[in-house]
Amino acid sequence: MTIDCQVFDAGVDADLQAIQARSQSMHRARRYVPSPKQKECHESTARVRFLATGNRYGKTDLIVNEALFWASGLHPYRKTPPPPVSIRFYMDGYEGPHWTDVIRPKFRRYLDPKDTGGSFDQVYKAGERLLPFKNGSTIKFLSYNLGDTTKGTQAYAGAEVHLNVFDEHGQLEVYREAGARIGPGIEPQFLIAYTPLLGRAAWEYDEIWMRWERGEPGYACFTGTIWDNPVLSHEAIETYLKSLPPEQRDIREKGIWTQAGGQVYPMYDGRMVPFDAQRVANSTKSLVIDPHPSRTKGHHLLWCGVDQDQRMFCYRAVNYKVPIPEIADLFRAASKDEDIRRYWIDRHWGWAENETGKSIQQQYQENGIPVQPASGDKTGGIQLMQTVLEVSPSTGKAMFEVMDTCPEVAHQLSRYSWKPQSQAMREADRWQTIDERDDWATCARYFVQTNPRYTGRDERPVAPAVTATMRAIMQRREMV
């Protein structure tokens, strides 16, 4: 997702009252003294600020104070929208240790009662999970775990938000939905603080970090280590680091991006083969669907084929974010010159119901797409994919290939990772994968697990528009 970036003017403010207000704010925030690196993050006017650091750097102190600076309208380091402002503070669950032991104590410590008319416990509205300010500003606390709501991403809709704060790793769907909370004259900003325990498999790496490294406007990333925390003694830090598993030390100490748990498909390096219209037309074709009840995530449709040499490939990948009847119409328009023989759908999500009260599988069937459940054997599927992605020394080819019209598929297959071994062992499942942005990789695995075989060529002539259609889809892969 690309977020259009607009920033607030952070130039020199010649207004004497504004300068006095900022000085007053700095005095009132005397219990929080940011380090030079933390101050740099506070000063940034980038629309998306990302703090990727080691543990115990002081990330939560920074983001709690940033939220309070915005809500009070007295930011000591930069200009912010005038009150009242709306802030959403996303965290790991509505209750539990993240809230009781981390978030709530920080707000109790740093909140100035002059801003709210009382202490945190006096003014906080637990039923609404809302912290109101006298100037009309609000801080709304939300869980980024979709399982904590009954509405999925719709739970985050219907609001105009100035600042979105994410404490630790959240859901990509929530991040995208938060970016859509735009009102008149409002360009929502983001502040995300995260220790990259999931490594480069996490969505933040591609969606934020890589955009910043490429120099895309509106993104600013900040790093820091546990050693940058002036409050912690060297003895305390060393004791903590010695307690960590070796594979996690660099991550938790320095916030370094790693391939945390190793690649699921190390034999695949992202290679693609050129799109071949004749090969597609002469193949036995299938469609694989990985749906999701969330409109933000949408339905992933992958067109696949198997040729006369029994080699499998995928040649088209589209993410539709519209109702199923519209998806069916778009599918028929995209496939009008093709003979799709078999249709598969994710076994789990296929049985999920949405607002219609019908399962997703049933809705597809009612709209003329006769889907059937794909295999639910994840372990066997991964082992099979590892086999078919291996390049044969004799032919120089793999039994499953990705055409260059499906770069998203190639990217996901090459990035698909295991969970860190210690975490997987704690969860008693060594086959645990990091299931983020895995939709295309899952579709490819489902197709391979159907044991596809060439059953004869499509007798229809190759349409001249096929290649043009492929290229058009490459230009617009998401149908919103």
Which domains are present in the chain?
16-254 (3.40.50.300), 277-479 (3.30.420.280)
Predicted pLDDT at 84? 93
- The answer, yes or no, to whether residue 9 has pLDDT greater than 60, is no
d(CA 205, CA 120): 35
Residue 185 Rama label (left phi>0; alpha psi -120 to 50; beta): left
Residue 244, classed as helix, strand or coil, is coil
130-132 and 138-143: which strand pairing?
antiparallel
- The answer, yes or no, to whether residue 350 has pLDDT greater than 70, is no
For residues 303-327, average pLDDT? 92
- The answer, yes or no, to whether residue 112 has pLDDT greater than 70, is yes
Confidence of residue 474 (pLDDT cuts 50, 70, 90): very low
Cα angle 455-460-462, degrees, rounded to a multiple of 5: 110
Report the interhelical angle of 378-388 vs 439-449 (nearest 10°).
90
Q: Which of 154-168, 195-209, 317-331, 452-466 has the lowest mean pLDDT?
A: 452-466
Cα angle 105-106-111, degrees, rounded to a multiple of 5: 105
- The answer, yes or no, to whether residue 160 has pLDDT greater than 50, is yes
In this structure, what DSSP letter does residue 375 have? P
At 411, which helix (H) or strand (E)? Answer: helix 407-415
Predicted pLDDT at 356? 63
pTM for this model (two decimals):
0.59
**Helix segments in 353-403, DSSP class H:** 360-366, 378-388
d(CA 27, CA 44): 21
Question: What pairs with residue 132 in β-bridges?
Answer: 138
Q: Out of 202-206, 358-362, 406-410, give the one with best mean pLDDT.
A: 406-410
Closest CA to 222 of 240, 203, 196, 197: 196
For residues 38-64, average pLDDT? 84
Q: Is 444 exposed, middle or buried (0-12, 13-18, 19+ CB in 10 A)?
A: buried
Structure tokens given for 174: 């929530």
Average pLDDT of the chain to the nearest whole number: 77
Closest CA to 201 of 436, 471, 13: 436
- The answer, yes or no, to whether residue 4 has pLDDT greater than 50, is no
Taking only the tens place, the pLDDT of each residue in 221-256 is 887 666 556 665 566 656 655 555 555 555 555 555
Residue 100, classed as helix, strand or coil, is helix
